[in-house]
Amino acid sequence: MIRYAHSMPYLLAPNDPSGAFPDVSCALREPDGLLAIGGDLSITRLLNAYRNGIFPWYGGGEPILWWSPDPRTVLVPRQLHISRSLRKALRRGEFRVTMDRDFPAVINACAQPRESGSGTWLVPEMVAAYRALHIRGNAHSVEVWHAGELVGGLYGVAIGGVFFGESMFTRRPNASKVALVHLCQRLTDWGFGLIDCQVLTEHLIRMGAIQITRADFIERLAALCEQPGRPGRWDDGSLALPAPSAPAAVALASVSTTAPTKVPTMQADDDAA
């Protein structure tokens, strides 16, 4: 690991997956949270990054960029506000939900370019890396079905009692939000204490997210990541119907840089509050 310059991010060696990241306090203020460049997307490197409050995000043709923004947006699974329109959608019972039933389909859908024309941050090597994490039992998906068709979902990484949200997609109004409701029902049951939403959006504010300092976030990770968690596959064989009064939570938001926009999860299907 080499420090490139005082005002520049660190340069990570590409062939040392177990190499330590720099302290997150060294992250740049502009662009907010850029900490390091390079390295690799091995399972060892990725798990080390998440445990230390760091995540990868970069566009096609760019080196791997590692981020740790300050402040950090988080949400406690049991504290999400469910809007009136979402409650109505849940009561209609038109969706069914599974977990880890089709991770490849979910991440491939998340990798598709958005209608806004903002491109995709999920380049092929990122997709392959998260699929490897899924096979290992660290990355998980939530699938939402309507009339037997996959219409929405999300995925993220779980370590101990923390779920690090990454991305979501929707092909039908409310589908991705239903995925979040189901996710938080399960996370609450399993004793998870935190969902990392990364950065703030208006959607996250309305749904109960808060911002904490990066130092506070790192302190919480140190305790929560040591909890037993829920390793392995999360597919219990059921086809669930989420309850409208259950807790819910949100996953990942975006970072603003020159790279392709990492679409905030709750912008996937913007319904009335």
The predicted pLDDT at position 209 comes to 82
Q: In the numeric block, which tokens belong to residue 46? A: 């990725």
The predicted pLDDT at position 109 comes to 97
The predicted pLDDT at position 260 comes to 35
The predicted pLDDT at position 264 comes to 37
Cα–Cα distances in Å, from 211 out to 30, 90, 188, 195? 18, 28, 20, 12
The model carries a pTM of 0.87
Can you give the pLDDT of all 273 residues of the chain as single tens digits? 434 444 788 999 988 898 899 999 999 999 999 999 999 999 999 999 999 999 999 998 999 999 999 999 898 999 988 899 999 999 999 999 999 999 999 999 999 987 655 556 899 999 999 999 999 999 999 999 999 999 999 999 999 999 999 998 999 999 988 998 899 889 999 999 999 988 787 777 777 888 999 999 999 999 999 999 999 999 999 999 888 864 633 333 323 333 333 433 433 444 433
Are the beta carbons of 140 and 102 closer than 8 angstroms? no
Helix (H) or strand (E) holding 96: strand 96-99
The predicted pLDDT at position 6 comes to 47
Whole-angstrom distance, CA of residue 75 vs CA of residue 199: 11
SS3 of 17, please? Answer: coil
Q: Which residue has the tokens 């209608």?
A: 115
Whole-angstrom distance, CA of residue 226 vs CA of residue 234: 19
The predicted pLDDT at position 181 comes to 86
Q: Which residue has the tokens 């589908």?
A: 175
The predicted pLDDT at position 245 comes to 67
The predicted pLDDT at position 25 comes to 95
* Domains, the chain, ordered by start: 2-67 (3.30.70.3550), 72-267 (3.40.630.70)
Whole-angstrom distance, CA of residue 178 vs CA of residue 153: 8
The predicted pLDDT at position 238 comes to 92
Whole-angstrom distance, CA of residue 214 vs CA of residue 212: 6
Within 8 A by CB and 6+ apart from 50, the residues are 157, 159, 162, 164
Whole-angstrom distance, CA of residue 46 vs CA of residue 55: 8
